[in-house]
Amino acid sequence: MAAPIPPGGYVSDSPLTTPAEATLRADVVVFAPRFEHIDAAAQAAGSFEGKIVIDTSNPYNPERNGFLDLGDQTVAQFVSARLPSARYVRGFNTIPTETLLPELAGRSGPDRAVLLLSGDDSAAKAIAAGLVRDAGLEPVDLGTRADSGSQDPGGDYYGKEIHLADVPSLPRL
């Protein structure tokens, strides 16, 4: 699992590196570019071969005042097609950022906040689920990339804090 983040939020002795060097050294990559820069970010990151990639992106238009129309594709299908060698997981894209605050994360019982994960690689989702638990949230499996539309903008779960009591039928990871 990931090392704890120290006070101040960064590791001061971490060397500066390029995206490709960081990807090469990582087991898990959090992929969070602005949507219009996905292709450039993927190219800059180099090979994702065998890497677990957690995609947090949302299809905001470049003006940030609306969303791009992806047609019949989910965001997961659209982005994962650009990262073909990655072990793709979609997550950390639906919840309000304040849910990650220490006083809100780590709640238990029916008020415990969930984080939805989707993807076709169950082993990659299991590793992502461990990181979600480390963040103080409960990982819930939304299904495959094709099933992930409810975590996209306009979907049932987008932009909302969701609790265990809200999704009793979705499988836990």
Question: Within a domain: residue 129?
Answer: yes
Question: Would you say residue 107 lies in a domain?
Answer: yes
- The pLDDT of residue 90 is above 80: yes
Query: Does the pLDDT value for residue 61 go beyond 80?
Result: yes
Give pLDDT tens digits for 92-125.
998 887 777 777 778 888 888 899 999 999 999 9
Q: What percent of the chain has pLDDT over 70?
A: 91
Residue 161 belongs to what domain range?
A: 19-166
Specify if 171 maps to a domain.
no
Contacts of 52 (CB under 8 A, 6+ apart): 27, 28, 29, 86, 87, 89, 121, 124, 127, 128
**Which domain CATH number covers 50?**
3.40.50.720
8: in domain = no
Phi, psi (deg, nearest 5) at residue 23:
-65, -45
| Cα-Cα end-to-end distance for the chain | 16
Question: How would residue 3 be classed by pLDDT, with cut points 50, 70 and 90?
Answer: low
Domain count within the chain: 1
Residue 1: its pLDDT value, please? 43
Structure tokens given for 111: 């008020």
Tell me whether residue 25 is in a domain.
yes
Whole-model pTM: value is: 0.87
pLDDT band for position 64 (cuts 50, 70, 90): confident
Q: What is the mean pLDDT of the chain?
A: 88
- Exposed e or buried b for every residue in 82-101, given b needs 16+ CB within 10 A? bbeebbbbbbbbbbeeebee
Per residue in 142-152, pLDDT tens?
999 999 999 99
Residue 122 main-chain phi, psi, to 5 deg: -65, -35
Whether 126 is covered by a domain: the verdict is yes
